[in-house]
Amino acid sequence: MRPLIVIGNWKMNGSLASNRDWIKTVARGMESGMPSGRRYAVCPPFPYLPQCAELIKAHSMAFLSLGAQDVSAFGSGAYTGEVAASMLNEVGCTYVIVGHSERRQMHHEVDELVAAKALQVLDNGMTPVICVGETADERNSGRAEEIVCSQIAKQVSVLQDRLADCLIAYEPVWAIGTGKVASAQVAQDMHHAIRQQLAEFNEDVASHVGILYGGSVKPDNAVELFAMPDIDGGLIGGASLNPQDFLAICQA
Ligand SMILES: O=C[C@H](O)COP(=O)(O)O
């Protein structure tokens, strides 16, 4: 049985003061009871990771893990501006998002680089959250499954059995930050296609890998999405900035 995982991705939002309030509110909300067998995480911008790690510890929030939004594909060295996986591990990260569509689009990240980043994350004892997804044009031209499956195929070719220790996030680009959520059935169909493709490689890997949905998840659509058999949780952007909305999604 795969656990349900809800991960908040703050993107480039937050401040020392608002982070304190967010964690305090979520800690209070989670103390009063959360569904069992679930996992939760939050991914603040890099500079806030140590602060959030301290706050999580101070509020004894064993149920909330920390994640990062990106990582370098290299271990260390002359890579100005990059952050190594070992550094993220050292400041308490459990999860690291790789290949988010905003990085693929704005920083021209390709599947090979995404896989190299995922390997760095795995080698440093953390869980990569590998993002895949099609654009609106790709979906409208009937190529959504082909595009997503080709993104998955590249990860399989590099990561092989180690994919069992990864999470995949299906994030249709047209649904990110637009309010246009994929219907639960559209999301389920793609998650099923991803799992089928993984099963062709290795059935054990396919049954273990958590596949999260991301793209305009809100408290009012999370219940239906999370009820789908191949949807194992969510990667939440905008709605994770509001601690009450994040809590409501975690409880969905
Ligand atoms: O990482 C999160 C996704 O990009 C979804 O963002 P969103 O919930 O604001 O649509």
Concatenating the DSSP letter of every residue in 101-149 gives HHHHHHS---HHHHHHHHHHHHHTT-EEEEEE---HHHHHTT-HHHHHH
Is position 216 annotated in a ligand binding site? Answer: yes
Segment (H or E) for 19: helix 16-31
Mutate to test the pocket of ligand 1, among 176, 181, 240 (most ligand atoms within 8 A of CB): 176
Query: CA-CA distance, 207 to 68, in Å (whole number)?
Result: 25
pLDDT at res. 32: 80
What is the 87 CA–ligand 1 centroid distance (Å)? 25
Among this protein's residues, is 100 annotated catalytic?
yes
Closest ligand 1 atom, CA of 102?
4
Spatial distance between the Cα atoms of 189 and 184, rounded to a whole number of angstroms: 9
Residue of 54, 100, 138, 146 marked catalytic: 100
What CATH number does the domain containing 47 carry? Answer: 3.20.20.70
> Does residue 245's CB lie within 6 angstroms of at least one atom of ligand 1?
no
Q: What is the pLDDT of residue 1?
A: 80
Output DSSP code: residue 31: H
Residue bearing the CA closest to ligand 1, atom 8: 237
Q: How many domains does the chain have?
A: 1
Mutate to test the pocket of ligand 1, among 9, 42, 132 (most ligand atoms within 8 A of CB): 9
Q: What is the pLDDT tens value at each position of the chain, 252 positions in all?
A: 899 999 999 999 999 999 999 999 999 999 887 888 899 999 999 999 999 999 999 998 888 999 999 999 999 999 999 999 999 999 999 999 999 999 999 999 999 999 999 999 999 999 999 999 999 999 999 999 999 999 999 999 999 999 999 999 999 999 999 989 899 999 999 999 999 999 999 999 999 999 999 999 999 999 999 999 999 999 999 999 999 999 999 999
* Contacts (Cβ under 8 Å, ≥6 apart) of 93: 49, 66, 67, 68, 126
Measured in whole angstroms, the distance separating CA 190 from the mean position of its chain's CA atoms is 16
pTM, whole model, 2 decimals? 0.97
Half-sphere exposure of 2 (CA within 13 A, CB side): 26
Q: How far is the CA of 219 from the centre of ligand 1 (A)?
A: 13
Write out the two tokens for 187: 């999301």
Q: Name the closest-CA residue to atom 2, ligand 1.
A: 237
Residue 31 has what pLDDT?
85
Active-site position among 107, 171, 200, 208: 171
CA–CA gap between residue 113 and residue 36 (Å, rounded): 36
- Residue 225 belongs to domain spanning: 4-250
Buried b (16+ CB within 10 A) or exposed e, 48-61: bbebbbebbeebeb
Three-class secondary structure of residue 246 per DSSP: helix
* 57 to 50, 62, 66, 86, 177: CA distances (angstroms): 11, 8, 11, 20, 31
24 assigned to a ligand binding site: no
Query: Distance, CA 78 to ligand 1 centroid (Å)?
Result: 31
Residue with tokens 């400041």: 91
What is the DSSP secondary structure assignment for residue 67, as one 8-state letter? E
171 catalytic? Reply is yes
Of the candidates 90, 84, 158, 148, the residue with the CA atom closest to the CA atom of residue 119 = 158
Residue 9 marked ligand-binding: yes
Distances (CA, A) of 49 to 16, 66, 91, 156, 164: 11, 8, 7, 30, 26
